[in-house]
Amino acid sequence: MMGDKLLFENVSKVYGEGDNKVIALDDISLNVRAGEFVAIVGPSGSGKSTFLSIAGALLSPSKGRLLLNGEDITTLSPKELTRVRLEKIGFVFQSSNLVPYLSVRDQLLLLSELIGKRDKTTVKKADELLSHLGLGHRADHLPEALSGGERQRVAIARSLMNDPEIILADEPTASLDSKRGRDVVEMLAHEVKSRNKAAIMVTHDERMLDLCDRVVNITDGKVFG
């Protein structure tokens, strides 16, 4: 279907073999369209992390297909998957995971560096992104000088730097208080809408769900809702 950014087709993930077999994801089908912000909720051990790892091209499914912007990425080599992550997927991790020795601007430029085109235009783009997210005055600071909320905003800016198809957020509010957490998720939702990206956020913070277009519940590897 047109507008489908991410499509899970009967995806299963099984760890181990025989008696030790653990079914982390069981025949999941799901689609996320452009401009859609989907929340994934579920108890610990429900398969949320496995789901996000597969969506993020970090893990291959045992069965089923995964289409990113219409392209089947389940058949790609690890090297090609690295390229897909770099160009098509934006990540926002728990507690941001910024590189400690890079200035805020360099955090963004690292993505351009990795893709192989770091020049004046990318510096301009990084500065625009930062001022757009209210971080213009922080461009030359190191992560250690930033507050938790600011760090997550930098992580959002970083995830947008290479203009990805989809943004994946792994518990982005885990280390923030509810006020700041809400600000960050609002900002993420706003960027997703205005840029017409797709986004998936794994969270167990119920108070953020009203900011999402759709809430998907994963329990014991199965999808509800």
Partner 1 sequence: MMFLAIRELKHSKLRYLLIGLIMVLVALLVFIISGLANGLSSDNASSIQNMKADYFVMEHDSKNKLNRSIISMEKLDEIQAISDVKAAEGLGQMMITLNKIGSSEKTDVTIFATDASGILAPKVIEGTSYDNKKQGEVVADRSLKEVGYKLGDSLKDDLSGKVLTIVGFTEKQSYSHTPAVYMNVKGWQEINPGLKNQGKDSISAIAVQLDSKSEENVRESLPEGVTLISKEESLQSIPGFKEEQGTLTMMIAFLFVIAAFVLAVFFYVITLQKTNQFGVLKALGANTGYLAKSIVGQVMLLAVTCIAISVALTYGVTLIMPEGMPFELSADLVIKYSVLLLAVSVLGSLLSLYRVAKIDAIEAIGRVS
Among 5, 13, 85, 105, binds partner 1 (CB under 8 A): 85
Part of the chain binding partner 1 (CB under 8 A), chosen from 33-41, 81-89, 120-128, 204-212: 81-89
CB 189 within 8 A of CB 26: no
DSSP-assigned letters across all residues of 121-164: HHHHHHHHHHHHTT-GGGTT--GGGS-HHHHHHHHHHHHHTT--
Tokens 């461009």, residue?
139
Give least dist CB 92 to partner 1, A: 11
Q: Is residue 100 close enough to count as binding partner 1 by CB under 8 A? A: yes
Q: What angle do CA 169, 113, 81 make, to 5 degrees?
A: 55
Give least dist CB 170 to partner 1, A: 6
CB 7 within 8 A of CB 31: yes
Rank residues 35 and 201 by Cβ distance to partner 1 and give the closer one.
201
Give the bridge partners for 214, in sequence order: 38
Rank residues 18 and 100 by Cβ distance to partner 1 and give the closer one.
100
Among 114, 123, 189, 211, binds partner 1 (CB under 8 A): 114
Q: How far apart are CA 14 and CA 192, in angstroms?
A: 32
Q: Is residue 175 close enough to count as binding partner 1 by CB under 8 A? A: yes
Pairing of strands 63-68, 71-72: antiparallel
Q: Is residue 79 close enough to count as binding partner 1 by CB under 8 A? A: yes
Point out which residues bind partner 1 (CB under 8 A): 48-49, 52-53, 56, 58-59, 79, 82-83, 85-87, 91, 93-95, 97, 99-102, 106, 109-111, 113-115, 118, 142, 158, 162, 170-171, 174-175
